[in-house]
Chain A
Amino acid sequence: MATTHQRSLARFMMAPSVGMLLLWMIVPLGMTLWFSFQNYNLLMPGMQKFIGLSNYKYFLSDPGFWTSLINTLEMVAGVLAVSVVGGIIFALLIDQPIFGQGYVRILMIAPFFIMPTVSALVWKNMFMNPVNGLFAQISHALGLQPIDWLAQHPLLSVTLIVSWQWLPFATLILLTSLQSLDREQAEAAEMDGASALARFRYLTLPHMGRAITVVILIETIFLLSVFAEILVTTNGGPGYQTTTLTYLVYSQALLQFDVGGASAGGIVAVVLANIVAIFLMRMIGKTLD
C-alpha cells in the first residue's frame, strides 16, 4: 500500500510524460479547431481571416457529404459482416486437424501483412480489370460478359478488397478463442446427443462472444479511416459512389488545398467517429462484462 507521500511523488514523476502526451494530443487538435474557423486556402495567400462557422456550413452542405457518410457506414458494416461471418467459418475450418495445418494457417493470415496500396493495386489490375483481369478471363471462359467491377459496383469492390485484408485478422483472433474452448465440454455435449449445429449454437458461439466483440471494436476503429484502397482503385468515384468521409477530407485538403474546409471536415469526422464508437460500446460493450 503506497503512502500519500509516495503517491504524490509518483504523480510528480509521471507529470512530464503525461504533460507531453497531453500536448501531443491537444496541440494538433487545437490547431485543427483554429484552422476550421479560418478562410485559409493554400493557393490564395494573404486571404486568411476568421469566418466563423462558414467552413462547417460548406462542409455539411457539400453535395458529397451525406453520400460519403452513408458510404462510410455501409463499407464498415459490409467489411465487419464479411470478416466476422467469414472469420468464424475459416476459424472453424482451420481448427480441424488437416494435412499441412501450419502452412494453411500461415497462408490464411498472409493477406493481412500486405500493404493496403499494394493489395488495392493487385486487385484493381490483376483481378477486377474488365479487359485483362482474372475475373474477366473467367467470365470469358464461361461465355459471360465480364463485369466492370470498379465502375459498376464500386463500393462493393472496395468493400471486397478491404474485407480480404481484414478477414485474416478476424480469423486469427477467432481461432485463438476457439482453441481455448474446453474440449471435454464439447465431447460431453456430443455424447449427450447434441447435433453439430446445436453444439455450435449453444457452446462455441457463446464462447467466442468476447473475441467477436474485440474483432468488431478493433476493426471499426481502423475501418473508419480506410483510405489507400479507395485512392488507388476508384479515387472516390465514379460520382460519389466510393467517397467516404476520410476521402472527402483528403480531397478538401490536398486536391483543393482548402485548409479551413478540411479542418472543419476533420472535426466533423472526429465527432461522428465518436458517436459511432459510443453506439458500438453501448450495443456490444455489454458482452464485455
Chain B
Amino acid sequence: MNLRVLLGASVICALSVPAFAETTLTIATVNNGDMIRMQKLTSDFTAKHPDIKLNWVTLEENILRQRVTTDIATKGGQYDVVTIGNYEVPIWAKQNWLLPLDNMPADYDAKDILPAVSKALTVNNKLYAAPFYGESAMVMYRTDLAKKAGVNIPEQPTWTQIFTAAKAMTDKSNGVYGICLRGKAGWGENIAFLTAMANSYGAAWFDMNWKPEFDKPEWKAALTDYVSALTKYGPPGASSNGFNENLALFQQGKCGIWIDSTVGAGFVTDPKESKVADNVGFAQFPNKEGVNNHGNWLWSWNLAIPASTKKAKAATEFVAWATSKEYTDLVAKQQGWRAAPPGTRTSLYNNANYQKAAPFAKLTLQSIDAVTPDQPSVQKTPYTGSQFVSIPEFQAIGTAVGQQFSAAVAGQLKLDQVLQSAQSLTTREMTKAGYIK
C-alpha cells in the first residue's frame, strides 16, 4: 500500500516537473582568466536563480569568434548568451542579430559604465551588450632597468623617448630586450597594435572615399619605426609573438618595455606570476611629436544576447548578474580587489580599496577615458573604431594585411613591398565589397 502511494506520488512528481521546468542557458565565452573566474563563481548566480541552469562553452578567442559568428549568421540558435567584442556589437546590432538590453533589473545602474565603453556598445540609444571587462593600451616598463640605463620615461611619452629608452635598456647578451611588441599576424594581434600606433602617427586606414592609405608617408613612418625597433631592440622571433607570448617574456624579465593592453598590467604586477612584479612602471600610449593622438585603443569583452534565443528573460538575468557591481564585490571578497574585472565601471575606479590594490588603476582609467573611437585619427575618416575599423570586411582585410606586416618583421619582405601589397590587397577587397566604385 505504502509502496503504491510512493509510486503514485513519484509519477505525479515526474509529470509535474515540466511545470517548473528549469531553463538551461548555453553561454559561449572566451577562455581568458577573468571569464574562467566567472565560471567558478556561478554558484552565487544559481543560488539566486534555482530555476536557471548554466551550460558553458568555453573557447579560445579565434575559435569562439568563428563559432559564434557562424551560429548567429545562420540563425542556428545554439547560444543564449555570447561573449563578443566591441567590434562586433555595433555591426551585429545593425543587422538585428542581437537583442537590445532593455529589461535589465532596476538596480543594474547602467550609468555607472564608463562612458567610452558604454558608447561603443550603444546603437540608436540602446545598449546592445553589457561589458564584462574593458581595456585600452599603455606602456609597461621595467623601472629598475630604466634606472640602470639612466633613462626616464615620462607619464606621456613620445615615440622618440620610447625608442631611446628601448635602445638603452637592450642587453642582448643577458637576454634582455629593450622592447616587446606584437608581431603575430591577425586583425586582433599585430594589426590591433599597429592600427593604434599608426593612429598616433597621424595615419588612417581609409580616406573619405574608402581608398586605403598605405601609400601615405604616415603609414610608412609608423611601420619603419615599428620594424626597426623590433629588429634592433626586440626579442628574436618577434614576428610570432602576440599578447600572451609578450606577457610571458615580460614576466620572465626579458623585456624592457611592453606596449599592450591595460589588462596586462594586472598580470605583470602579480608577484605570484611575475618575476618583475615590484619593478613595473606605467605610462600612457606614446604619441608622435606634433601629433596630438595617443593611439586610441579601446576594447571590451561583452555579454550579449542573440536574437535567435528563446530564453531572453533568463539570459538577461544572467548578463545583469555577471556585469553587475555585485559581481565585482563578489570577486573582491573571494579573490582580492586586484582580481576585479577592470575597465567597465566608474565605481570601481572610485573605490579606495581598488586604487590601493591596483597601482595601474589610475592610468587605465585615464587611457580609457581618453579614447575617441569616433575620431580615431587626426585625419577625417569615413569609419569609426579605435584599433580596428568598424566594418564587417575588416576582419578579413586586417588579417591579410597583418600577414604582410609580420613578414616585414620577420625580414622576409622589404617595407616598400609590404606597404604596396597591403595597399593593393585592401583596394581589391574593398572593391569586391563595393565600397570603391
Give A residues with C-beta under 8 Å from B.
41-45, 58, 63, 129-131, 136, 146, 148, 150-152, 154, 234-241, 243, 251, 254-258
Kindly provide the distance from the CB of A89 to the nearest chain B CB, expressed in whole angstroms: 32
**Quick one: CB contact mask for B412-429 with A, threshold 8 Å, 1 for yes?**
110000000100110010
The answer to whether residues A43 and B69 also contact, given A152-B411, A238-B185, A238-B406 and a CB cut-off of 8 A, is yes
Contact A42 B185 (CB under 8 A): no
Cα A189 to Cα B95 in complex, Å, equals 78
Cα A22 to Cα B178 in complex, Å, equals 61
**Quick one: CB contact mask for B255-298 with A, threshold 8 Å, 1 for yes?**
00000000000000000000000000000000000000000000
Contact A235 B69 (CB under 8 A): no
Which of the 9-residue segments B11-19, B332-340, B395-403 touches chain A? B395-403
Known: A63-B424, A148-B239, A151-B411. 14 other contacts (CB 8 A): A43-B73, A43-B395, A130-B237, A131-B237, A151-B409, A151-B412, A152-B410, A235-B184, A236-B403, A237-B406, A239-B407, A241-B407, A251-B400, A255-B396
**Quick one: CB contact mask for B68-84 with A, threshold 8 Å, 1 for yes?**
01100110000000000
13 contacts between A and B (CB under 8 A): A42-B70, A43-B69, A44-B392, A130-B235, A131-B235, A131-B254, A151-B240, A151-B412, A238-B413, A240-B403, A257-B69, A257-B395, A257-B396
B186 beta carbon closer than 8 Å to chain A: yes
Kindly provide the distance from the CB of A226 to the nearest chain B CB, expressed in whole angstroms: 18
B175 beta carbon closer than 8 Å to chain A: yes
Kindly provide the distance from the CB of A167 to the nearest chain B CB, expressed in whole angstroms: 25
Kindly provide the distance from the CB of B405 to the nearest chain A CB, expressed in whole angstroms: 9
A41 to chain B: closest residue by CB:
B392
B125 beta carbon closer than 8 Å to chain A: no
B404 beta carbon closer than 8 Å to chain A: yes
B236 beta carbon closer than 8 Å to chain A: yes
A235 to chain B: closest residue by CB:
B185
Please name the 6 residue pairs, one residue from A and one from B, whose CB atoms are nearest each other, closest first: A239-B407, A256-B396, A238-B407, A151-B410, A130-B236, A42-B73
Kindly provide the distance from the CB of B63 to the nearest chain A CB, expressed in whole angstroms: 9
Which residues of the partner chain B approach A241 to less than 8 Å between Cβ atoms?
407, 412
Kindly provide the distance from the CB of A177 to the nearest chain B CB, expressed in whole angstroms: 40
B177 to chain A: closest residue by CB:
A131
Cα A26 to Cα B417 in complex, Å, equals 44
Contact A239 B403 (CB under 8 A): yes
Which residues of the partner chain A approach B409 to less than 8 Å between Cβ atoms?
151, 238
Kindly provide the distance from the CB of B220 to the nearest chain A CB, expressed in whole angstroms: 18
Kindly provide the distance from the CB of A263 to the nearest chain B CB, expressed in whole angstroms: 15
A147 to chain B: closest residue by CB:
B236
Cα A103 to Cα B249 in complex, Å, equals 39
Cα A52 to Cα B128 in complex, Å, equals 37
**Quick one: CB contact mask for B178-189 with A, threshold 8 Å, 1 for yes?**
000000111000
Contact with B249, one of A131, A237, A255, A257 (Cβ below 8 angstroms): A131
B4 beta carbon closer than 8 Å to chain A: no
Contact B410 A238 (CB under 8 A): yes
Give B residues with C-beta under 8 Å from A.
66, 69-70, 73-74, 91, 95, 175, 184-186, 235-240, 249, 254, 392-393, 395-396, 399-400, 403-404, 406-413, 421, 424-425, 428, 432
Kindly provide the distance from the CB of A10 to the nearest chain B CB, expressed in whole angstroms: 42
Which residues of the partner chain A approach B407 to less than 8 Å between Cβ atoms?
237-239, 241
Cα A42 to Cα B392 in complex, Å, equals 10
Kindly provide the distance from the CB of B68 to the nearest chain A CB, expressed in whole angstroms: 11
Which residues of the partner chain A approach B395 to less than 8 Å between Cβ atoms?
43, 255-257
The answer to whether residues A146 and B95 also contact, given A151-B410, A239-B413 and a CB cut-off of 8 A, is no
Contact B412 A251 (CB under 8 A): no
Cα A235 to Cα B404 in complex, Å, equals 12
Contact with A255, one of B184, B399, B411, B413 (Cβ below 8 angstroms): B399
Cα A63 to Cα B235 in complex, Å, equals 30
Which residues of the partner chain A approach B403 to less than 8 Å between Cβ atoms?
235-240, 243
Kindly provide the distance from the CB of B197 to the nearest chain A CB, expressed in whole angstroms: 19
Cα A241 to Cα B249 in complex, Å, equals 26
Which residues of the partner chain A approach B408 to less than 8 Å between Cβ atoms?
238
Cα A29 to Cα B265 in complex, Å, equals 50
Cα A130 to Cα B241 in complex, Å, equals 11
Cα A78 to Cα B350 in complex, Å, equals 61
Which residues of the partner chain A approach B396 to less than 8 Å between Cβ atoms?
251, 255-258
Which residues of the partner chain B approach A58 to less than 8 Å between Cβ atoms?
432
Which residues of the partner chain A approach B66 to less than 8 Å between Cβ atoms?
254
Cα A148 to Cα B432 in complex, Å, equals 37
Which residues of the partner chain A approach B254 to less than 8 Å between Cβ atoms?
131
Kindly provide the distance from the CB of A65 to the nearest chain B CB, expressed in whole angstroms: 12
Contact with B186, one of A151, A235, A254, A257 (Cβ below 8 angstroms): A235
Contact A63 B425 (CB under 8 A): yes
Cα A144 to Cα B400 in complex, Å, equals 34
Cα A239 to Cα B432 in complex, Å, equals 21
Kindly provide the distance from the CB of A247 to the nearest chain B CB, expressed in whole angstroms: 11
Kindly provide the distance from the CB of B435 to the nearest chain A CB, expressed in whole angstroms: 12
The answer to whether residues A251 and B404 also contact, given A42-B73, A148-B237 and a CB cut-off of 8 A, is no
Kindly provide the distance from the CB of A189 to the nearest chain B CB, expressed in whole angstroms: 51
Kindly provide the distance from the CB of A242 to the nearest chain B CB, expressed in whole angstroms: 10
Contact B237 A239 (CB under 8 A): no
A140 to chain B: closest residue by CB:
B175
Cα A147 to Cα B281 in complex, Å, equals 32
Cα A255 to Cα B396 in complex, Å, equals 6
Kindly provide the distance from the CB of A205 to the nearest chain B CB, expressed in whole angstroms: 39
Cα A146 to Cα B406 in complex, Å, equals 19
Cα A256 to Cα B66 in complex, Å, equals 10
Which residues of the partner chain B approach A255 to less than 8 Å between Cβ atoms?
395-396, 399
Contact A150 B240 (CB under 8 A): yes
Which residues of the partner chain B approach A234 to less than 8 Å between Cβ atoms?
240
Kindly provide the distance from the CB of A139 to the nearest chain B CB, expressed in whole angstroms: 10
A252 to chain B: closest residue by CB:
B396
Which residues of the partner chain A approach B424 to less than 8 Å between Cβ atoms?
63
Cα A236 to Cα B392 in complex, Å, equals 22
Which residues of the partner chain B approach A254 to less than 8 Å between Cβ atoms?
66, 70
